[in-house]
A and B are shown apart, each in its own frame.
Chain A
């Protein structure tokens, strides 16, 4: 462990970056899940975290947010400690991480995004509800406000999660596999919202599993497989070489060439 401290660089992480990490190491038990990862996402851009299953993509988001303990490493959100920037971060967990049978409505879930404003005590007013409904409308779900969440399709549930994040009015959106198991209409709705967030100058960082849409959706990419494989603009970073390195034998040479061509 001693040599880890020796290679630590003293200069601060870029304060302009919505999310920057250095030397992030996370382990589940004995097995490392991420090893000494560096990353720096650009502001006002859409960034993808890409890598094979078990590469540590979700772990990266959770560790950056402080949801799981890290062994070592620094995390900076707009140049400050992530703990002090919680009201500027909106997190969209994996849809499968919650029990959708929970007795609550779509509108109620979106109102949960306002907890930072209302806290324990402050009354939820008509204004709060109107804001939550507007967020539902933005993801095309305004007609489902009073529906119990278990009665929604997977794609609709994912859109409710995104609406809750919108309600937080954050500057940094962290999404864990927002397109996993959703229908085409939902994928289009979500990408439309994310692009509008980018147009408003907000930053989006998403764990993404579909290699065929990386080039179409994202500006910046972090390729990860326990450690950082490559990071940078999609056009120059999402190449046959880096994909082969990240995925090893799991992708065929033909697939890699096809994907890298799309990436330009």
Chain B
């Protein structure tokens, strides 16, 4: 693997890995709290938020995007609550109705606004532009030490790397309260832990991961990574720490395998064009989940505990 790999594959793979890990980390706790749907909802709601933020500010800078996504999340929460109470339907259905409507609204808004000079259109929203995040100034592994070449890295790479590091650091720092309040909310409250704030922080971290990952890799990867790697990891182990470790491994594996298979897989099969990297990364994570369901050592759990 030489210069061509560094130029055309290294940066998209790294961005894919960071995005996948950033989503998989909070995904572990969302799944254990039976809130996996929230990750899904967030990644949908992010779109209208980002579009509105773009329409107001005219840029695709990180902070306005984040604020827009947070605003949209807030609107979504209020609407979900309103639909649930006024329509008297169950929370899951209310959530489903609201986030798909908001996402659809975001798509319409995006089509109608002039985003020709920035990377913001419906296709990007779904699939990102992973294949285009290449590093043309690189001419081999030595470029990793060349400050001039490094300054021409696609800006998505350092942004995604920083977002992932922050989320990893937060997971590490707040590990105990996260674990405690995810397992036993009542006990955590009795200890005086700010349980509502922890839940909010977790959802905020998931939203931040979704926003950071969104324009590079698109919502397909975001949705898949919130759920597939943590769910597969849960089938591998009965320890939370090991589960989070496995989810990082699976997210990384999905990003690498998915990107390579999308680029070269069709050629190996005799076809001439490559397929969407985002779609393939998400598909690989689904295959990993399926394999974990079939062969994961911790999959025979439910029903083991006999009551009494």
Contact = CB atoms under 8 A, between A and B. Distances in A.
B189 A65 contact: yes
Given A104-B179, A105-B239, A116-B191, A97 B308 contact: no
A154 B308 contact: yes
A103 B32 contact: yes
A181 to B, nearest CB: 6
Contacts of B234: 103
Given A62-B186, A120-B174, A100 B305 contact: yes
Nearest to A98: B184
Interface in B147-179: 173-174, 176-177, 179
Contact of B186 (A97, A112, A150, A183): A97
Interface string B171-200: 001101101101110110111110000000
Residue of A65, A104, A109 most packed against chain B (CB within 10 A): A104
Contacts of A205: none
A97 B180 CA distance: 14
Interface string A153-179: 111010000001000000000000000
B7 to A, nearest CB: 41
Contacts of A155: 308
B307 interface: yes
B184 A120 contact: no
Residue of A115, A154, A181 most packed against chain B (CB within 10 A): A115
A226 to B, nearest CB: 22
Contacts of B56: none
Interface of B: 32, 34, 173-174, 176-177, 179-180, 182-184, 186-187, 189-193, 234, 237-240, 242-243, 298, 301-302, 304-308
Contact of B183 (A112, A119, A151): A112
Contact of A120 (B32, B176, B304): B176
Contacts of B183: 98-99, 102, 104, 109, 112
Contact of A103 (B190, B192, B193, B240): B240
Contact size class for A? 35 or more
A100 B304 CA distance: 11
B184 A101 contact: no
A115 B308 contact: no
A67 B190 contact: yes
B191 A86 contact: yes
Contacts of B180: 112, 115
Contacts of B306: 153-154
B28 to A, nearest CB: 9
A152 B306 CA distance: 8
Contacts of A118: 176
A156 to B, nearest CB: 9
Nearest to B190: A91
B182 A86 contact: no
Given A99-B34, A105-B238, 15 more contacts: A65-B189, A86-B190, A89-B190, A91-B187, A91-B190, A98-B186, A115-B193, A116-B191, A119-B176, A150-B238, A150-B304, A151-B304, A153-B305, A181-B308, A183-B308
B176 A102 contact: no
Contacts of A153: 305-308
A164 B32 CA distance: 21
A72 interface: no
Interface in A106-140: 109, 112, 115-116, 118-120
Contacts of A86: 190-192
Nearest to B180: A112
B190 A65 contact: yes
A86 B189 CA distance: 10
Nearest to B239: A103
Nearest to B307: A154
Contacts of B190: 65, 67, 86, 89, 91, 93
Contacts of B301: 101, 148, 150-151
B20 to A, nearest CB: 21
